[in-house]
Amino acid sequence: MNAIGSRSRVEGREKVTGEARYAVEHPVPGAAYAWVVQSTVAKGEITAFDTADAEALPGVLTVLTPDNAPELAPVSDGELAVLQGRKVSYRGQIVAAVVAETLETAREAARLVRVTYAARRHDVRLTPDHPGRYTPDEAEDGPWQARQGDPEDAFRAAPVRIDCTFTTPAEHNNPMEPHATLAAWDGDALTVHDSNQGPSTVRSTLAKVFELDPARVRVISPHIGGGFGSKGTPRPNVVLAAMAARAVGRPVKLAFTRRQMYALTGYRSPTVQRVRLGAAEDGRLTTIIHESFEQSSTVREFAEESTTPTRVMYRAPNRRTAYHLTRLDVPSTSWMRAPGDAPGMFALESAMDELAVVLGLDPIELRVRNEPDGHPEDGRPFSSRNLVACLREGAARFGWSDRDPTPGVRRVGRRLVGTGVAAATYPVLRSPAQATARANADGSYTVRIAAIDLGTGARTALGLIAAETLKADPAQVTVEIGDSDLPRAGLAGGSAGTAGWGTAVVRACEALLSKLNGHVPPEGVEAAADTTEEVKGQGDEYARHSFGAHFAEVEVDVDTGEIRVPRMLGVFATGRIVNAKAARSQFLGGMIMGLGMALMEESVLDEAFGDHLTADLAQYHIPANADVRDLDAVWLDEHDPHVNPMGTKGIGEIGIVGAAAAITNAVHHATGVRFRTLPLTPPRVLPEL
């Protein structure tokens, strides 16, 4: 399979030997430690703080509460208004923080802080018909909803109809490295070592919150232990660490615990999704209606946008997609790998499977028959679209042609066996960036950009891109990233990192090549690029999206309801691949997360208390090695001249999109039972067998 290269991570040795430092691991003399106190009510007001016992504990430097915390400048994300008032908006909210000489002292002192609340009745229950439900911009065909033709009439008139409701639970990101910050002030200059998905963004946010000149803020983040979206916006840790460091006049380290992350660092909203499909007898869709009901906290509006992928998938003259939010007294929802696309494509691709079963049509053939010529809403051409090729290639590799479509008839011992397929999609995005490229006198090159490596291999990928442009050996290129003092760049998010940063790296390298005339002086030659105009100037004459297809085989134990996935295959059409080795890893990682979404991941909310109970890795189940068996990911050689100079499309998220539906469709094929509520755990499955 083609790629620019196939290279192990350049910092791999540092990571496996433990040399690589993560945020709070940076050694700094005189560091103090912060620990947060979290609210124990879900809604109300704090009526009193008693910090005397905490302050009396030897080693405690200060106890920060809304009463003594410095005033911060307001920003749009209410989560960053740390200790700015006595109002409690969800259980687990930060209501105080202790700073002490040691981590243990800070933790013990936090326990001694007594907070009295006037609690009010909270509402944490998401229902589709919640009275507080709203649909912003209801009149407009904006991102909240889109409509073509007369979808409801077309549904009533359709010869074949599917009308079903799918439920997905709250799900939490669990990066290995928690959200963590080491903050230090030098006068009015702030330096943070922070775990995030974009140092430039963290810098501008800190500058706003603390009303500083951005040039006086530096964010250093050479290595990140995963984020999956949860570090895409600065979280309260970085604000609180900076606040605490200023309060005690010393560097302060703050790392959330796994349990704290379940309240403080975002999660995927639960969704209730109704999908209606109307089709002719030959399977051609006449209407698609996809609605989603989701939650947001009261401090931060965030929409999961579960119906967005439906807008690009299948041809149908009548169509409507919409999502609705309800503000509840819950912790704030936020980005989690393929926000919207992951739960949305579970619903749509399950419904398509249901339609295939009703029609007696092969599910691949059903999708092929509904393949649009251009964007289903407006007919714009796709810059490239190889969904059908992915389905065909996957069918050949997986052995789909022998499949007997009859559900519930294959049995091996006490296990029912089935196979399933589902499509995947993800938009092609990128953001502007700046970069510099330097030719050094010794023949090596240095590329600098404030990109970030979440663990995906971004540093290595940018090196390959630079080397290709420079026609140099990748070993001759050093890539400097993970520091806000480097040329400004966008987030690692929306699968847009490599595309956005890569564009800037290519342009900087091209500019460097045009400056070089065969001789490099001792001080080297440097060139810079800024892709703001190029990226913002890119027209929307093309619809730009990635596509893919997932295949899964499952075994369902009829006595226990346990589901195992002996085989999974993902086939992707995502433009040009940069680093074959790391790309495969990204696809597989996404697919494994999809397996978790299908079978085990669920953040259980306690309605009486208002918080997520499953707040550790023993209770919030992600796949263990034993759950992951024969897993394979391949890609098509797709050439797309309309996306960016590399021809890449972004691969960080598409691996999870559709993966859960392939598994649950296989479970239907195995058992004849349609499970529409995730995850498919034995307690849910066994009673239906």
Partner 1 sequence: MRPFAYERAATAEEALARCDEETRYLGGGTNLVDLMRLGVERPARLVDVTRLPHDRIEERSSGALRIGAAVRNSDLTAHPAVRRHHPMLVQAVLSGASGQIRNQATVGGNLLQRTRCSYFQDITKPCNKREPGTGCPAIDGEHHNLAILGHSESCVATHPSDMAVALAALDATVLTRGRGGERAIPLADFYRLPGSHPERDTTLEPGELVTAVEVPPLAMPSRYRKVRERASFAFALVSIAAAADVRDGVVRDCRIALGGVAHRPWRARRAEDHLRGRPLTRENLAGAADQELAAAHPLRDNAYKLRLARNLIVRTLLELGERA
Nearer to partner 1, 109 or 661 (CB): 109
- Nearest to residue 664, comparing CAs of 312, 359, 347? 347
In DSSP terms, 563 is beta-bridged to 556
Our answer to whether residue 653 is catalytic in this structure is yes
Q: Distance between terminal CA atoms of the chain?
A: 42
User: Is position 1 an interface residue for partner 1 (rule: CB under 8 A)?
Assistant: no
User: Is position 530 an interface residue for partner 1 (rule: CB under 8 A)?
Assistant: no
Packing angle of the helix pair 580-599, 659-671 (nearest 10 deg): 50
User: Is position 599 an interface residue for partner 1 (rule: CB under 8 A)?
Assistant: yes
How many amino acids of this chain bind partner 1 (CB under 8 A)? 37
Q: Which residues contact 577 (CB under 8 A, 6 or more apart)?
A: 1, 2, 3, 4, 583, 635, 648, 651
Q: Given the rule CB under 8 A, which of 234-242, 243-251, 485-493, 553-561 is the region that contacts partner 1? A: 553-561
User: Is position 614 an interface residue for partner 1 (rule: CB under 8 A)?
Assistant: yes
User: Is position 258 an interface residue for partner 1 (rule: CB under 8 A)?
Assistant: no
Nearer to partner 1, 50 or 606 (CB): 606
The identity of residue 217, as a single letter, is V
User: Is position 627 an interface residue for partner 1 (rule: CB under 8 A)?
Assistant: yes
Q: Given the rule CB under 8 A, which of 365-373, 455-463, 530-538, 598-606 is the region that contacts partner 1? A: 598-606
Which token pair is 389? 């090729």
Nearer to partner 1, 436 or 671 (CB): 671
Query: From the CB of 169, what's the least distance to partner 1, in Å?
Result: 12
Nearer to partner 1, 122 or 576 (CB): 122
CB 278 within 8 A of CB 287: yes
- Nearest to residue 9, comparing CAs of 634, 647, 582? 582
Q: Given the rule CB under 8 A, which of 208-216, 283-291, 554-562, 579-587 is the region that contacts partner 1? A: 554-562
User: Is position 625 an interface residue for partner 1 (rule: CB under 8 A)?
Assistant: yes
User: Is position 613 an interface residue for partner 1 (rule: CB under 8 A)?
Assistant: yes
User: Is position 567 an interface residue for partner 1 (rule: CB under 8 A)?
Assistant: no
Packing angle of the helix pair 236-248, 199-209 (nearest 10 deg): 50
User: Is position 559 an interface residue for partner 1 (rule: CB under 8 A)?
Assistant: yes
Nearer to partner 1, 257 or 298 (CB): 257
Cα separation, 359 vs 365, in Å, equals 11
How does DSSP classify residue 93?
Answer: -
Interface mask (CB under 8 A) for partner 1, residues 86-125, using x and -? ------------------x--xx--x--------------
User: Is position 610 an interface residue for partner 1 (rule: CB under 8 A)?
Assistant: no
Q: Which of residues 395-414 bind partner 1 (CB under 8 A)?
A: 414
Please state whether beta strands 477-480 and 445-448 pair in parallel, antiparallel, or not at all (unpaired): parallel
Query: From the CB of 613, what's the least distance to partner 1, in Å?
Result: 4
User: What 3-state DSSP class applies to 435?
Assistant: strand
Query: From the CB of 100, what's the least distance to partner 1, in Å?
Result: 12
- Nearest to residue 338, comparing CAs of 457, 168, 507? 168
Instruction: Please say whether the dihedral angle defined by the alpha carbons of residues 127, 128, 132 and 137, taken in this order, is positive or negative.
Output: positive
Number of H helices, E strands in the chain: 17, 24
- Nearest to residue 64, comparing CAs of 116, 10, 113? 113
User: Is position 564 an interface residue for partner 1 (rule: CB under 8 A)?
Assistant: yes
Query: From the CB of 151, what's the least distance to partner 1, in Å?
Result: 37
User: Is position 176 an interface residue for partner 1 (rule: CB under 8 A)?
Assistant: no
User: Is position 514 an interface residue for partner 1 (rule: CB under 8 A)?
Assistant: no
Residue of 139, 176, 412, 626 interacting with partner 1 (CB under 8 A): 626
User: Is position 681 an interface residue for partner 1 (rule: CB under 8 A)?
Assistant: yes
Task: Give one DSSP letter per residue of 474-538, joined into a string.
Answer: GGGEEEE-SBTTSSP---S-TT-HHHHHHHHHHHHHHHHHHH--S---TT-EEEEEE-HHHHHT-
Interface mask (CB under 8 A) for partner 1, residues 185-204, using x and -? --------------------
Cα separation, 302 vs 323, in Å, equals 12
Query: From the CB of 167, what's the least distance to partner 1, in Å?
Result: 15
Interface mask (CB under 8 A) for partner 1, residues 282-321, using x and -? ----------------------------------------
User: Is position 673 an interface residue for partner 1 (rule: CB under 8 A)?
Assistant: no
CB 306 within 8 A of CB 343: yes
Phi, then psi, of 196 in degrees rounded to 5: -150, 175
Which of 291, 294, 354, 653 is catalytic? The answer is 653
User: Is position 682 an interface residue for partner 1 (rule: CB under 8 A)?
Assistant: yes
Q: Which residue has the tokens 């023949």?
A: 443
Residues that bind partner 1 (CB under 8 A): 38, 40, 104, 107-108, 111, 259, 414, 559-562, 564, 599-600, 604, 606-609, 613-616, 618-619, 621, 623-627, 681-683, 686-687
Q: Among all residues, which ones are annotated catalytic?
A: 653
